[in-house]
Amino acid sequence: MSKINPTTTRGETEAMPIAFVGAGPGDTALITLKGHQLLQKADVVIYTGSLVPKDLVSHLSAVIYNSAGMTLEQVISIMVSAAKSGRRIVRLHTGDPAIYSAIQEQIKCLRKENIPFEVVPGVTAGFAAAAVLGQELTIPGITQTVIFSRIGGRTPVPPSEELSRLAKIQATLVLYLSVGHIRLVQETLLAGGYSSDTPVVVIEKVSWPTQRVVRGELENIAIKVEQAGISKTAVILVGKVLSEPEYPHGKRSLLYDPEFSHGYRKGLSHSNAGASSEPPLDCYSSANNKGNRSRDYNARFTAPHRNVSVYRVLQMRGGGYADVLPVLQVPDNKADAVPCERLRIIFVYLTPGGRALAHRLSELLSNKEILIYSYSELVGDQLIKKLWQRGTGFVFLMAAGIVIRAIAPLLKNKLDDPAVVVMDEAGHHAVSLLSGHLGGANELAGMLALKAEGQAVITTASDTLGLVALDIWARVQDMVPDDRADLKKASAALVASGSLKTYTDCRVHSLPAGLVEVYDPGKARLIISPHLIPEVKPILHLYPRIFALGIGCNRDTPSQALERAVEEFLKRHKISPKALFTLASIDAKKDEACLLALAQKWDLDIRFFTADQLNTVPVKEPSHYAMEAVGAYGVAEPSAILAVDNGGLRFQKEKTNGITLALGERAFALTEDQI
């Protein structure tokens, strides 16, 4: 940045420095003291008249220019001329010059003319909005990140900064220049991963006398903003930190924690901190709840755990108390990969030290469904056989050799075996022993190590290298390979090289670590596409299951005839059969042998709809023959559309030899999610 020469005066020929000053969001008192002083001394002021209050400049003795109707060339001409004539110039921008101010292009021009300048910061609308709400935007345990962005409009944003991608971070989001596209903002953030109940606040003309605040949730904010008639000059804030005060945010700041030491204060020991007369900030802390665990469960669990469906009262073995634990529902489409938060955790101890660790960890994991058994109870009584199933996390507090011998007869395969973690009774190490990915043992080991202040031991290669587990990711995204052996080959290639060139023609929100997108399928080692691409030979081709095949056919159509017609239809459109997730037809065909045979052979579900349901879907070419035969104006097209939850029709109906086929496509976008 060019430096100001303090000895420069009006009479000298050296160009005067130009000050870019942030005027703040609207309240004239929010300009900085330095900015105010520069305005008072200015000979020329060029201000953004569409956004900066006139009260800031109306009393000045300077020559005032309103840049609202000016071009860049006109603004630069005035600044250069005034600076070279020895006059002091202030370029007054709204908010802070660092955000959406267009000062960079002005500075570039000034540098060409050798005009010195300085930039004086101001209060940006996002921070002023937080002040209006009395809200911190970074709260420990919720988010430590704030993203300032906008939705693409006449000024586009880079593809990597699309809101759908930013939404994956789940940080606090501050959007400028976007309220005019509030419906698109809402749809994009929902599609990107924010939950429908995520709090949103829209503030029009922040800090102005005419300021208006609209609160809502992501599912209803668009209609609220539209009803308020807000279409410009507003900032949008999105994120969990905006929840009402009664939301138990969880962690307090370490800065003022009595046990936390830093350069200005030595933290108290745990025992001394407990004796402090200062009441704990966390009104749900374990210190307050030891004797009342079953009485405060609504306050402790209801708000933070939206997935809680029921509460189970569980008598802890050896603990002498009843605990109320949440039982979390596992969505069907994510059940293959079990996150540790959805595991029923079973601690197994062998020694008194192991028993003590089990109870200590159960206290720290009081929001989990937990059982505690001695080794003889679980293994000696063969109870382990009844509990051995996916969705269970066994934590053995003993030597690994004992555990291996105990579980060896129960092992089936990676798709069915539960998570098994081994810990030493001191809690120094938590070893993910079995079902690290699909069963959730890696995540469970990490969580236990954190609670025990120990170290997690993870041996799966992709995790140790920070790469995606392709098998889990494919299942979560509902994608299938040509051959399951190809998944192992691709995973090995990913681990060996650290990356995998990936081509996809699907919509992409985000790709997981290790997958590098390329735009030429011939250069890809991994292809993600529902289409057949026979001219390339990648290591792995994953097919997203996004299509529903609608079928209408004559009674007693031969099974071979239907299968041949479907194969030709898909081949004609270069669609892999693996990209189908269901067949669809009218319920009058529930007993049609050819449909049932095709579904069984291709391992597909089949959905049947009533004639009334089918008739709710408009068809371009109504069939009077179908109406007479089954009571519906169409079968293939409307059943395909209904099967994809009223999604799009990828290919319209095609008829051949008494068989009608159409292809529906459901919405799909790749994300980095692995659970």
Question: CA geometry: angle at 376 spanning 371 and 378, to 5°?
Answer: 40
Which CATH number goes with the domain that contains 534? Answer: 3.40.1390
Domain interval for residue 312 = 288-459
Q: Quick check: 503 and 523 in contact, CB under 8 A?
A: yes
Report pLDDT digits (tens) over 325-356. 333 333 333 335 566 666 789 999 999 889 99
Tokens of 572: 């004609």
Which of 221-230, 465-474, 630-639 is predicted least confidently?
Answer: 465-474
Residue type, position 414, single letter? K
Provide the 8-state DSSP code for 338. -
- Predicted confidence at residue 625, as pLDDT, reads 81
Q: Quick check: 205 and 233 in contact, CB under 8 A?
A: yes
For range 134-163, the mean pLDDT: 85
Report pLDDT digits (tens) over 191-215. 888 888 889 999 998 888 788 888 8
Q: Same domain, yes or no, for 115 and 153? A: no
Helices and strands counted in the chain (H then E): 23, 28
Give the integer Cα–Cα distance in Å for 302 and 309. Answer: 10
Give the integer Cα–Cα distance in Å for 28 and 54. Answer: 9
247 falls within a domain: no
- Predicted confidence at residue 234, as pLDDT, reads 92
Q: Same domain, yes or no, for 29 and 109? A: yes
Q: Quick check: 423 and 399 in contact, CB under 8 A?
A: no
Give the integer Cα–Cα distance in Å for 131 and 127. Answer: 6
Tokens of 12: 């000298």
Q: Same domain, yes or no, for 48 and 132? A: no
pTM for the model stands at 0.42
Residue type, position 301, single letter? F
- Predicted confidence at residue 312, as pLDDT, reads 27
Which CATH number goes with the domain that contains 647? Answer: 3.30.420.180
1 falls within a domain: no
Q: Same domain, yes or no, for 528 and 558? A: no
Which CATH number goes with the domain that contains 322? Answer: 3.40.50.11220
Residue 254 pLDDT exceeds 70: no
Give the integer Cα–Cα distance in Å for 524 and 505. Answer: 12
Q: Quick check: 525 and 540 in contact, CB under 8 A?
A: yes
Q: Same domain, yes or no, for 304 and 440? A: yes
**Of 271 and 120, more confident:** 120
Q: Same domain, yes or no, for 503 and 396? A: no
- Predicted confidence at residue 523, as pLDDT, reads 87
12 falls within a domain: no
In terms of Cα–Cα distance, which of 617, 626, 671 is closest to 649? 617
Final residue before a domain boundary, out of 544, 560, 593: 544
Which CATH number goes with the domain that contains 35? Answer: 3.40.1010.10
Residue 91 pLDDT exceeds 60: yes
Number of domains in the chain: 5
Residue 1 pLDDT exceeds 50: no
69 falls within a domain: yes
Give the integer Cα–Cα distance in Å for 659 and 581. Answer: 20
Pairing of strands 419-423, 429-434: antiparallel
Q: List all residues 6 or more positions away from 417 whose beta carbon is below 8 Å from its beta carbon.
A: 388, 390, 410, 411, 434, 435, 439
CA 81 to chain centre: 51
Final residue before a domain boundary, out of 186, 209, 242: 242
Q: Same domain, yes or no, for 530 and 644? A: no
Tokens of 261: 């030491």
Q: Same domain, yes or no, for 307 and 347? A: yes
Give the integer Cα–Cα distance in Å for 170 and 195. Answer: 9
261 falls within a domain: no
Q: Where are the beta strands (DSSP E) in 225-342?
A: 234-238, 308-315, 322-328
Sign, CA dihedral 249-253-257-260, equals positive
Q: Same domain, yes or no, for 513 and 552? A: no
Give the integer Cα–Cα distance in Å for 208 and 232. Answer: 14
Question: CA geometry: angle at 232 spanning 228 and 236, to 5°?
Answer: 80
H-helix or E-strand spanning residue 563: helix 559-572
CA atoms within 13 A on the CB side of 218: 23
**Of 468 and 40, more confident:** 40
Q: Same domain, yes or no, for 54 and 76? A: yes
pLDDT band at 654 (very low <50, low <70, confident <90, very high): very high
Give me the chain's average pLDDT, please. 79
Report pLDDT digits (tens) over 389-418. 877 889 999 998 999 988 998 888 777 788
Which of 249-258, 363-372, 508-517, 601-610 is predicted least confidently?
Answer: 249-258
Q: Where are the beta strands (DSSP E) in 545-617?
A: 547-553, 580-586, 605-609
- Predicted confidence at residue 59, as pLDDT, reads 86
Final residue before a domain boundary, out of 175, 207, 242: 242
For range 580-591, the mean pLDDT: 92
Provide the 8-state DSSP code for 377. I
**Of 2 and 576, more confident:** 576
- Predicted confidence at residue 566, as pLDDT, reads 95
At 376, give phi and psi (nearest 5°): -70, -35
- Predicted confidence at residue 278, as pLDDT, reads 41
- Predicted confidence at residue 505, as pLDDT, reads 87
271 falls within a domain: no
Tokens of 425: 């009774």
Give the integer Cα–Cα distance in Å for 148 and 128. Answer: 13
416 falls within a domain: yes
276 falls within a domain: no
Q: Same domain, yes or no, for 98 and 237? A: no
- Predicted confidence at residue 674, as pLDDT, reads 60
Share of the chain above pLDDT 90, in %: 29
Tokens of 437: 């990915």
Q: Same domain, yes or no, for 610 and 509? A: no
Residue 244 pLDDT exceeds 70: no
Give the integer Cα–Cα distance in Å for 521 and 535. Answer: 9
